[in-house]
């Protein structure tokens, strides 16, 4: 049965689209169970700091596990890693079927975070190694699949969970993970028998890689300074709980659209122009957000901001595709860990500034950071052109 499905599905779909479908499903599964877990723990009246731990543990564990997974994938084929990740991801869903409670929920979210890079990083590397034409387009759709999952999970997955029950929903998600495995277990890529020393190759490009990691840090810091605070501004504008959910879905859809547009434009006008377009657009729209006098205006401006920010983020990811193949996974995973560490720090700092100095101060600092990033990217661009990495 699996062989029949595999042969027919491969006839109609290229492998990169199977990976995109897989990424969507994995994110969909995550965001089907996460809102349910969070809602139950909040209803149980747990302390606020425990809620914070529950929300952050997944991102933290994913950032840590991405480093060894990235190093391993630089020397090994992606297909089996995808299959192993899918098999292991069934564990948290079976745990949620058997038991619930804060500790079990925390452990399951931790596991989902640890196992996320098996799929996300593995899929990213397979596309970067194997897809020859329209890499930007494929990567844009790949990135958009994540965001589409964050929309479909809470809405569609949540509805299914309400209809059939949470335990049955978890069982269905676990079994679907297993059904995906045969499609990827023997999937080949160009990673076999790499003889180049990762350590030596990284040492050769050390200065360039440090500059690119700092670029990722600046982009994530900017996103952290203004990104999470739409909810605060929406609450001040009189948003209800229903409004907040709708806004989350709208922003997720806009980011998805931005990723697709960025990938498409990268193939046609070049990665550098896409990144500059995103930065300049963000710099122009941010000053108007604190001036929003009603909710619809706030949502519209924030949507534009997230759209152009998505151009910069996706464009930067496409840029990283041009790095040498032999250490691409190691570098990308390291950049994720470092830049997201700074993201978490920036969220805390910007939140303190927001409470003490007001929203205007947050957006003034964000504008200043964007100007620094534009100047810095111009400098990095000139260096990368010399070594033929960027276009």
Q: pLDDT tens for residues 205-220?
A: 677 778 888 888 899 8
Whether residue 84 is found in the same domain as residue 150: yes
Whether residue 251 is found in the same domain as residue 374: yes
Whether residue 94 is found in the same domain as residue 233: no
Separation in Å, CA 354 to CA 52, 222, 299, 325, 361? 18, 15, 19, 42, 7
Whether residue 177 is found in the same domain as residue 258: no
User: CA 182 to CA 80: how far, in whole Å?
Assistant: 10
Domain-located, residue 376 = yes
Q: Among the three residues 184, 209, 236, which one is the final residue of a domain in this structure?
A: 184
Whether residue 108 is found in the same domain as residue 24: yes
Separation in Å, CA 126 to CA 18, 98, 108, 110, 118? 12, 35, 27, 25, 12
User: CA 285 to CA 264: how far, in whole Å?
Assistant: 23
Residue pair 80/185 in contact (Cβ under 8 Å)? The answer is yes
Q: Domain of 322: which CATH number? A: 1.20.1250.20
Whether residue 149 is found in the same domain as residue 261: no
Our measurement of the distance from residue 307's CA atom to the centroid of its chain's CA atoms, rounded to an integer in Å, reads: 15
User: CA 183 to CA 336: how far, in whole Å?
Assistant: 28
Domain-located, residue 245 = yes
**H/E segment holding residue 8:** helix 2-12
Whether residue 223 is found in the same domain as residue 163: no
User: CA 7 to CA 10: how far, in whole Å?
Assistant: 5
Whether residue 164 is found in the same domain as residue 281: no
pTM to 2 decimal places: 0.69
Domain-located, residue 190 = no
**How many Cβ atoms from other residues are within 10 Å of residue 82's Cβ?**
25
**H/E segment holding residue 109:** helix 102-130
The structural domain count of the chain equals 2
pLDDT at 1: 45
Whether residue 316 is found in the same domain as residue 233: yes
User: CA 139 to CA 44: how far, in whole Å?
Assistant: 41
Give, for all 391 residues of the chain, the pLDDT tens digit.
Answer: 445 444 444 433 578 888 889 999 998 998 888 877 777 766 676 664 565 566 667 777 887 888 888 878 777 778 888 888 999 999 999 999 988 777 888 888 889 988 988 888 888 888 877 777 777 778 778 878 887 887 788 778 878 888 898 899 999 999 999 999 888 877 766 554 455 555 666 666 677 778 888 888 899 888 878 776 666 677 777 776 567 667 777 887 888 888 888 888 888 888 889 999 999 999 999 989 888 878 888 889 989 999 999 889 888 887 777 777 666 777 777 777 788 778 777 777 877 787 788 888 888 899 999 999 999 998 888 877 765 555 4
Q: pLDDT tens for residues 342-381?
A: 877 777 787 778 778 888 888 889 999 999 999 999 888 8
Nearest alpha-carbon partner for 158 in 249, 75, 83: 249
Whether residue 118 is found in the same domain as residue 50: yes
Domain limits at 121?
Answer: 2-184
Whether residue 232 is found in the same domain as residue 350: yes
User: CA 102 to CA 45: how far, in whole Å?
Assistant: 11
Domain-located, residue 62 = yes
Domain-located, residue 193 = no
Residue pair 127/75 in contact (Cβ under 8 Å)? The answer is no
């Amino acid at each position: 049965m699996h062989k029949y499905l595999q042969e027919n599905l491969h006839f109609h779909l290229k492998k990169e689209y199977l990976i995109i479908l897989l990424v969507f499903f994995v994110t969909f599964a995550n965001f089907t169970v996460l809102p349910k877990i969070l809602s139950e723990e909040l209803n149980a009246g747990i302390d606020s700091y425990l809620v914070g731990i529950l929300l952050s543990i997944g991102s933290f564990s994913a950032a840590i596990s991405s480093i060894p997974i990235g190093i391993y994938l630089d020397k090994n084929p992606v297909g089996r890693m995808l299959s192993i990740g899918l098999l292991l991801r069934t564990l948290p869903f079976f745990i949620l079927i058997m038991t619930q409670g804060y500790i079990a929920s925390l452990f399951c979210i931790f596991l989902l975070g640890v196992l996320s890079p098996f799929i996300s990083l593995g899929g990213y590397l397979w596309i970067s190694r194997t897809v020859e034409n329209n890499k930007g387009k494929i990567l844009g759709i790949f990135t958009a699949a994540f965001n589409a999952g964050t929309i479909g999970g809470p809405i569609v997955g949540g509805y299914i969970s309400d209809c059939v029950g949470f335990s049955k929903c978890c069982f269905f998600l676990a079994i679907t993970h297993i059904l995906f495995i045969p499609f990827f277990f023997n999937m080949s890529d160009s990673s076999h028998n790499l003889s180049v020393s990762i350590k030596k190759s990284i040492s050769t490009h050390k200065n360039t890689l440090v500059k690119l990691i700092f670029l990722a840090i600046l982009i994530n810091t900017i996103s952290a300074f203004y990104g999470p605070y739409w909810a605060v501004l929406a609450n001040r504008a009189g948003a209800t709980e229903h409004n907040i959910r709708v806004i989350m879905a709208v922003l997720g859809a806009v980011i998805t659209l931005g990723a697709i547009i960025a990938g498409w434009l990268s193939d046609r006008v070049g990665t550098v122009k896409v990144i500059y377009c995103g930065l300049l657009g963000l710099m122009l729209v941010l000053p108007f957000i604190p001036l929003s006098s009603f909710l619809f205006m706030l949502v519209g401006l924030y949507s534009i901001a997230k759209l152009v920010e998505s151009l910069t983020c996706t464009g930067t990811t496409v840029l990283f595709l041009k790095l040498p193949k032999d250490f691409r996974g190691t570098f990308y995973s390291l950049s994720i860990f470092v830049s997201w560490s700074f993201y978490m720090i920036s969220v805390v700092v910007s939140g303190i500034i927001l409470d003490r100095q007001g929203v205007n101060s947050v957006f003034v600092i964000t504008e200043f950071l964007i100007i620094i990033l534009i100047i810095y990217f111009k400098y990095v661009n000139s260096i990368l052109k010399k070594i033929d990495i960027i276009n």
